[in-house]
Structure 1
Amino acid sequence: MTNLLPAVTTAAREAGARLLELYSPGARPPGRDDMFIAGHRNEDAAGPPLRAALASVRPEARWVEDDDEARPLPDDGEWWAVDAVEGNVNHVHGLPEWCVSITLLRGFEPVLTVVHQPVGDHTWTAVRGGGAFLDGHRLRASAKTALNAAITVTGQAEAAQTGTYHRLGDSITAMLAEALMVKATVPSTFPMLLVAGGQNDVFWQFAPVLPGVAAGALLIGEAGGVVTRVDGRPWRPGDPDILATAPGLHRAAVDVLS
């Protein structure tokens, strides 16, 4: 897998450069239609060239499509889980928290990931068994062991996920009683990157979109963190929820959330 990193990193950086040309810190779309027009423009600029580049790197790998995200993947072969504009809503509002997220899965496991944030020129990489890195520097999950010192984050429910709204609200209420800080945000990738780097301590999400959590799951695991279902069972791509924590906080987070 390590031999794939240079080509995948180049693909991510090239897609990021296309998006950076379209990015303005002063962007303020006046309405919903304007947001969607800008978002589709971004996807059209970055998505097809990125897909072509990755297909040339691993032509036999299949692609996680929208209808694959809510079910476990077949336990064979390789799959690309890609978001060419992760955090698109931030891009079109002039915020810096957007990126190109690429993860290669083999069966049920993420095995390689590259996340490139063009604003600031930062790149996260991980290969299963090889550690997690930010701009070449090794990442370590937090050493905290008490939730009352923990920064915890959940991913906001996607549009039309009405069945998760009450569960999300209940989980935030439960965590507010135990943690130092509780946040809800999008996209999922950035709080998970911070768990891998030790700045955040706990992340959970109900009904996650696979390209939004696959990269973070590998990076957190390789940084020494713990990734499971919310109830503590093993997590696999396509599962209906995810919990990622510093190692010393996992049991407490499971107890609060389940």
Structure 2
Amino acid sequence: MAGSANLNVMMKTARKAGRALLKDFGEVEQLQVSTKGPGDFVTRADRQAEETIRNELMHARPSYGFLGEEGAKIAGEDPTRRWIVDPLDGTTNFLHGLPHWAVSIALEHKGQAVAGVIYDPVKDEMFYAEKGGGAFMNESRMRVSGRHRLIDGLFATGLPFAGRSDLPETLQDLARLLPAVSGVRRFGAAALDLAYVAAGRYDGFWERRLKPWDMAAGLVIAREAGAIVESLTKDGDPLADGTVICANNDIFAPFAKVIRKD
């Protein structure tokens, strides 16, 4: 696919950050056996990746704004365009040596995500999309799954940790959904969960208390692959309220009915 200049910049930047993180990931795997542990090292790797991404993107588009997970927030001269970046989605996986994490970069225009790139360096999988242009993984066009029945579907979510207050809601979700589907997975990287819905690997995904950088790129990729993507509040905005539910057209309605308790 021949993407726009912006998309090409995003993909090049994601690859550059991903290569550096992949080298760091090799070090993390060695640090697992040390008494000190890899925590401080991963924090530095995360911040360095965001700095690399910020420098690349701001050099290419100096008038755009920037919002990054690690605290970088720049108000650009162009108030309508902003980069939204998670330099390392799946930090806990990375910290524990689990090979499931990604670099996520989105371009927002007038409050809407219009382009997204999610790069998994371990598998060398680049998921990307622009509004109106379809969704791709490497050179292949992506479409959501063709499953029609909830009972055949495989779904993904996040699980609350460290005493988060949304644990009871999530447990209730699982109690309603698990008897009605073929399985639920928790892989620990929301950006990749959305990309996997786009690729047809999952049939649906939902989660609460996400940040814009967790899902901005994934929202446009999933939509361009044919997914219905909404907030858990029917008239809400996922980027604004931090909740998301998505699935293919046939499964979305029964899936949303279970999760939303309609």
TM-score by length of 2: 0.87
Instruction: Please show how residues 1-258 of structure 1 align to structure 2 within 5 Å.
Output: 2-24=4-26, 26-27=29-30, 29=32, 34-64=37-67, 77-157=80-160, 159=162, 162-233=164-235, 235-258=237-260
Runs (4+) of structure 1 moved beyond 6 Å? none
Letter of the 1:185 counterpart: F
CA offset at residue 46 of structure 1?
1.4
> 1:35 deviation in Å?
4.0
Contact 1:64 1:80 in 2 (8 A): yes
Cα distance 1:237–1:32, how it changes in 2: closer, same or farther (>3 A)?
A: farther
Partner residue in 2 for 1:73? none
CA distance in 1, matches of 2:70, 2:121: 29
- What is the RMSD of the two structures over their aligned residues, measured on CA atoms? 2.3
Looking at structure 2, the residues matched to 209 and 143 of structure 1 have their Cα atoms a distance apart, in angstroms, of 29
Identity, % of aligned pairs?
25
- Measure, in 2, the Cα distance between the counterparts of 1:93 and 1:128: 35
**How far apart are 1:31 and its partner, in Å?**
8.8
- 1:203-225 deviations in Å (ceiling 9; x for gaps): 00011122111111111100011
1:112-137 CA distances to partner (integer Å, 9 max, x unpaired)?
11111111222111011000000021
Q: 1:255 to 1:31 in 2, by over 3 A?
A: farther
Supply the distance in 2 between the matched residues of 1:141 and 1:33 (Cα, whole angstroms): 43
Greater Cα offset, 237-246 or 34-43: 34-43
Structure-2 change in CA distance of 1:126 and 1:184 (3 Å)? same
CA distance in 2, matches of 1:67, 1:122: 24
Structure with the bigger RCO (C-alpha within 8 Å, sep 6+) is 1
Q: Distance in 2 between matches of 1:31 and 1:173?
A: 39
- List gaps (5 residues or longer) in structure 2: 72-78
Counterpart Cα distance in 2 of 1:212 and 1:219: 13
Q: Offset at 1:32?
A: 10
TM-score by length of 1: 0.88
Q: Is the 8 A contact 2:106 2:217 kept in 1?
A: yes
Number of residues paired by the alignment? 250
Given the superposition, is the C-alpha separation of residues 202 and 27 from structure 1 closer, same or farther in structure 2, using an over 3 Å criterion?
farther
> CA shift at 1:58, angstroms?
2.1
